[in-house]
Amino acid sequence: MTRFKRNTETQDLSCSSSKTKNWFQLSEQGAGRIRLILTKYIYQYFGEIPVRIIAFFVTLTVFLTAKERRRASEKFFKILNKKFVLFHSFLQFLNYGNALVDKFISFLGRLDPARIELPDPEIYHGAFFITTHVGNVEILRSLFQDEKLDHPRRVNVFLQASACERFNNFLHSLELKLNIDAFPVEKVSADTSIMVADRLKQGEIVFMAGDRVSSENTNKVYEAEFLHHRVEFPLGTLRFALMMQVPIYFIVCVKAGKKFKVYTERFVTQKEKKNEILSDMQKAYVQFLEKFTLKYPHQFYNFYDLFKN
């Protein structure tokens, strides 16, 4: 069952008063411009292995020093009833470090498209994709806009404002010119909706995460049972997707050996009333997220305590 929390009196939304920090309240440890450029040259001149080695030691440092992230990871594996929790937690951190390297390589245009198992390529036309933080869907952003492929698409990505700025800086630092537009999810307006709807009609695609509450919209959430615990998810993502009146898919891209497997699930419902459609969508998304979290727990990249009990 899901419960709604609405704020109809004011648009000035404040952060949650919970003692547990949300993901957006944790300090960022992103790569700066100089480090990105240095990594780019190391990769170009020495190849992938040195970059992976650097990623390992950076990950180890973060694992040892980022106590809140580590505690959240350990809690997650305790919920899954895993033994040797510290080992599983480090493996999760390490997978994340390698996922960042994979994303880096993909945006440089060096990731072989043959490594990505992309079923049903025809669905990536004028569709709205609700993503998760399971796996590494970021690599698909560079794949879809590649003009050399049979299915090039301009990609529109909605990110939290600080992440949007880091993403644009990332592209600028590496001098990448991709058909990708990033928008801050907190500033979605009527004009934004009209623009996005028009782009979807032209065959472009949209990515928006459905498993992280925006820092400026903590009251616009729904509460659902996830892994037998209460978790809050953003309501705005689902509403925005429904507003576009285009095919809606849930999507993950997980790494299996040297391959990347893409799984999608189209949202369908027999309901007609808006509130019932929205309720069905909530249940379907959480079930999709839980299914792949259980299947790929070490690729569940939410390093904050999202569980309310």
Res 187: pLDDT: 79
Q: Which residue has the tokens 């650097």?
A: 54
- Token pair in block for residue 242: 């429904």
b/e code 255-272 from CB counts within 10 Å (16+ = b)? beeeebbbbbbebeeeee
Picking from 251, 247, 245, the residue whose alpha carbon sits closest to that of residue 285 is 251
Q: How far apart are CA 254 and CA 117, in angstroms?
A: 10
Q: Using one digit for the tens of pLDDT, what is the confidence trace for 171-218?
A: 666 666 677 888 888 778 889 899 999 999 999 999 999 998 876 665
Rg over alpha carbons for the chain, rounded to the nearest Å, is: 19
**Which has more confidence, 148 or 299?**
299
* CB neighbour list of residue 1: distance below 8 Å, 6 or more residues apart: 224, 225
Contact 102, 90 (CB under 8 A): no
Q: How far apart are CA 160 and CA 166, in angstroms?
A: 10
Total-model pTM: 0.86
H-assigned helices in 108-234: 138-144, 161-173, 190-201
Q: Which residue has the tokens 């949650």?
A: 16
Average pLDDT over residues 99-105: 91
- Token pair in block for residue 72: 């959240």
* Coil/strand/helix, residue 95: helix
Contact 253, 292 (CB under 8 A): no
* CB neighbour list of residue 230: distance below 8 Å, 6 or more residues apart: 223, 224, 307, 308, 309
- pLDDT category of residue 119 using cuts at 50, 70 and 90: confident
Q: How far is CA 265 from the centre of its chain?
A: 16
pLDDT of 146 strictly over 80: no
Res 141: pLDDT: 75
Strand partners of residue 249: 129, 266
Q: Using one digit for the tens of pLDDT, what is the confidence trace for 15-73?
A: 333 344 554 444 444 456 677 778 888 998 999 999 999 999 999 999 999 999 999 99
What are the strands of the beta sheet with 116-117, ordered from one edge? 116-117, 259-266, 248-256, 128-135, 205-209, 155-159, 180-184
Res 181: pLDDT: 83
DSSP 223-255: EEEETTEEEEEEHHHHHHHHHHTS-EEEEEEEE
CA angle 162, 165, 169 (to 5 degrees): 140
